[in-house]
Structure 1
Amino acid sequence: MKLGMYTIEMKRPTTGELFAAIKNAGFSEVQFDFSSVCDEQLPFSFAPGLLEEIQRQAVQNKIEIVAVNGTFNMIHPSKTVREDGYKRFASIAEASRELNCNFITLCTGSRNTKSMWVWHEDNQEPEAWEDLLVSTDKVLEQAERYDLILGIECEPNNCINTPDLARKLLDTFKSPRLKIIMDIANLFQKGQARKENVRPIMDHAFELIGQDIYLAHGKDIKDGDDLNPTYAGNGIVDFEYFLEKLDQVGYTGGMLLHGIHDERYFADSVAYINDVISKHKTKIKKAP
């Protein structure tokens, strides 16, 4: 299994230095965020030669861009803000193909006007669901236009915050272009982040949406009543069991480490996941 990372979690002044650092940290895949090289996460347009430079540096450093961030607030209460998001997403959709990437990540959003990653009590009102359906239809139009796959994930502060709701959205559209990003740390609700809950929560998620996984995120979460995400190996997520579940659904992609907000912890996280992968391979070889 290849290891990847989220480019926004590593800061470098130039595109070349960024990809060189990613390679040196032990990664061969990335989820690319344009804010790593631009002033905006979803720019309307790109400086001349920027996309070519990104692709050149990725190839030179043997890094595959397996995902591009296309996250905007899909249920923002302002239709004007959502329309702006559609336009920016269209720009990202076109650019992603120039980066030889066919997978774009989404944010199902929040009614919170300050941050799409912060909970709002109206997130699960019928009106929010209807707005999500409209937004999903809009981005799927771009996916058809540029031959893309789009990924949603359960996120405790978003409209889609459970595997059950993710299943509902997938079943509503029945589109082969709409898939799942499986991030185990995001499956917990407040009060659930306990070691004894990890496997049952994982089992439930895989039962509902396991067959639709397109990308696996390697983020962890600390034990406690609140939700405190952290880097892999520093929390309660059972990554060996995660790999077993991924095998069961036939997942063949990489593991993109996420939640590393201090570069000092990249080495620890990479070493931890590599050890988990090694143990998993040994276990498979010994199995009758």
Structure 2
Amino acid sequence: MNIGIRAHDLGNLSIEKLAESVARNGIKAVQLALTKSFPELNLQIGSLSPGLGQYIRDIFHKYNIQIAVLGCYVNIIHPDLKERHRLLEFFKEHIRYARDFGCSVVGTETGNVHVEMGYTPDNFSEKAFIEVVKSVRELVEEAEKFGVIVGIEPGVNHPVYSPRMMKRLLDEVPSNNLQVIFDPANLLTVENYTHQEEIFCEAMELFGDHIVVIHAKDFVIENNKLVFVPAGKGLLNYRVLFKMIKYKKPYINILVENTKGFDINKSIEYLERVYETV
């Protein structure tokens, strides 16, 4: 396995301390959201530079850690068009300097039609999807100039909420610089979680060739709601998932998220154990 972690789950540490903490946990890759891991840098449009990218890359490289994804999870369909433009420009800046971080993927979800992020049926309209296409197309056009991948993460709370919607987005923006960050738990609901195998199979059939990163977390059902928990502590069928990817996607980055403290090593051990036995 090529297993990693979402870096800000380790807390707000200095760049060197964060790299040390990742290495201490025996982890070889991270998804690095600069604004979440290093809020003290106060990064704005115009803040990124080759120097910053190379500085962070060199520290992580010293500990043999890959920056697998630059996380820039912004609302790409923000209803305030001025704010949307600002957020898209910030994402483009990540694209332009991603290679300086030793990274080729910049990731996000597909946003929300409202200012406040969270579940709303308004996200499931045709109009919302069209706005997603416009923004993703703009980001991909920038990515094509720099040889970088825009990684889109589908999820049930967003306009790209199902395998079919993800496939539709790939068809609408037909570029090899658009790929998928696949978090299987993000496609599950209270209504469909008992059909995991069907949903995972559909995803693999529709866009398996476009998956570049996998997120790993788990879920339980509490008070008729789906609640995320660390991998190995819930109901997600990793045996089914790993059977699908083990030989189709050798050494793909599998990044643990929503996992902290002692649960990190426990989750990694669980994932490795399941992976070895499929």
Aligned to 2:129: 129
Q: Which moved more, 1:59-68 or 1:147-156?
A: 147-156
Q: Which runs of 5+ in 1 are unaligned?
A: 281-288
Identity %: 23
Q: Show the 5 A alignment for 1:205-220.
A: 205-220=203-218
- Note if contact 1:182-1:215 (Cα within 8 Å) is conserved in structure 2: yes
Q: CA deviation at 1:39?
A: 4.3
Aligned to 2:231: 232
Q: Pick one of 264, 267, 270 that aligns with 2:268.
A: 270
TM score, norm. by length of structure 1: 0.89
Q: Distance in 2 between matches of 1:164 and 1:276?
A: 28
Q: Distance in 2 between matches of 1:166 and 1:72?
A: 18
Deviations 1:237-281 (A, max 9, x none): 121221111135344412111121x3231121111112122323x
Given residue 45 of structure 1, which amino acid in structure 2 is its aligned partner? G
Q: Distance in 2 between matches of 1:81 and 1:137?
A: 18
- Note if contact 2:180-2:210 (Cα within 8 Å) is conserved in structure 1: yes
Q: Distance in 2 between matches of 1:47 and 1:157?
A: 30
Deviations 1:162-189 (A, max 9, x none): 0010011111111111111111101112
Given residue 79 of structure 1, which amino acid in structure 2 is its aligned partner? L
Q: CA deviation at 1:40?
A: 7.3
- Note if contact 2:48-2:94 (Cα within 8 Å) is conserved in structure 1: no
- Note if contact 1:191-1:226 (Cα within 8 Å) is conserved in structure 2: no
Q: Distance in 2 between matches of 1:40 and 1:175?
A: 33
Q: CA deviation at 1:190?
A: 3.4
- Note if contact 2:246-2:275 (Cα within 8 Å) is conserved in structure 1: no
Aligned to 1:145: 145
Aligned to 2:197: 199
TM score, norm. by length of structure 2: 0.92
Aligned to 2:84: 82
Q: Distance in 2 between matches of 1:172 and 1:256?
A: 28
Deviations 1:176-206 (A, max 9, x none): 111111111011123333xx42222222222
Q: Pick one of 95, 98, 121 that aligns with 2:97.
A: 95
Residue 178 of structure 1 pairs with residue 178 of structure 2: yes
Aligned to 1:43: 44
Deviations 1:61-107 (A, max 9, x none): 10001111122111221211110111111221122111111111122
Given residue 187 of structure 2, which amino acid in structure 1 is its aligned partner? L
Q: Show the 5 A alignment for 1:149-164.
A: 149-164=149-164
Aligned length: 275
- Note if contact 1:68-1:105 (Cα within 8 Å) is conserved in structure 2: yes
- Note if contact 1:33-1:41 (Cα within 8 Å) is conserved in structure 2: no
Q: Distance in 2 between matches of 1:220 and 1:129?
A: 27
Q: Distance in 1 between matches of 2:48 and 2:76?
A: 26
Q: Taking structure 1 as reference, are residues 22 and 86 closer, same or farther at Cα in structure 2, changes over 3 Å only?
A: same
Q: Taking structure 1 as reference, are residues 41 and 223 closer, same or farther at Cα in structure 2, changes over 3 Å only?
A: farther
Deviations 1:203-254 (A, max 9, x none): 2222222222111111111135312111110111121221111135344412
Q: Taking structure 1 as reference, are residues 234 and 148 closer, same or farther at Cα in structure 2, changes over 3 Å only?
A: same
Q: Which runs of 5+ in 2 are unaligned?
A: none
Secondary structure of 2:221's match? coil
- Note if contact 1:26-1:270 (Cα within 8 Å) is conserved in structure 2: no
Q: Which moved more, 1:237-246 or 1:203-212?
A: 203-212
Secondary structure of 1:263's match? coil
Q: Taking structure 1 as reference, are residues 47 and 109 closer, same or farther at Cα in structure 2, changes over 3 Å only?
A: closer
Aligned to 1:189: 189
- Note if contact 2:108-2:151 (Cα within 8 Å) is conserved in structure 1: yes
Q: Distance in 2 between matches of 1:107 and 1:42?
A: 20
Given residue 46 of structure 1, which amino acid in structure 2 is its aligned partner? S
Aligned to 1:284: none
